[in-house]
Amino acid sequence: MSTTVTDEQIRALAMSAQPYSLALLQWGPKRTMDGADAIEIELEHQRRMVSLRADGVIAVLCPVASDTVAGVAIMTVPAEEAAEIMAQDPCVRAGMMRCEVHPCHGFPGDTLPA
């Protein structure tokens, strides 16, 4: 660590924290469904996630290259609402993915590098 951080800076950052929800998508038992239905379900999932991002419901969307984790989304709605939204996801409904939602806090203005 090369940057010195003061206790005052830590307190100021902590005071700026806002509630978010972390949606963790994991691959489900039907991940390897075959056929046109599976392709259409996955495309609808992608369409829906990008739409939620465009609408501001998802602040950060991160697909994950893993055999167990499918993706992570930081959502701007309370955890209960996020869980309801994710329960309607086409891949979740089809058993291709499952989703855990956890309340979390983040710092407004944090971004991913371009």
pLDDT tens, 22-52? Answer: 999 999 988 877 777 888 999 999 999 999 9
Instruction: Find out whether 62 and 73 touch, Cβ atoms under 8 Å.
Output: yes
For the chain, the maximum distance between any two Cα atoms, rounded to a whole number of angstroms, is: 57
Q: State if pTM tops 0.95.
A: no
pLDDT tens, 94-109? Answer: 999 999 999 999 998 8
SS3 category, 75? strand
In sequence order, the 6+-apart residues with CB closer than 8 A to the CB of 55 are none
Question: What's the CA gap between 21 and 17, in Å, rounded?
Answer: 13
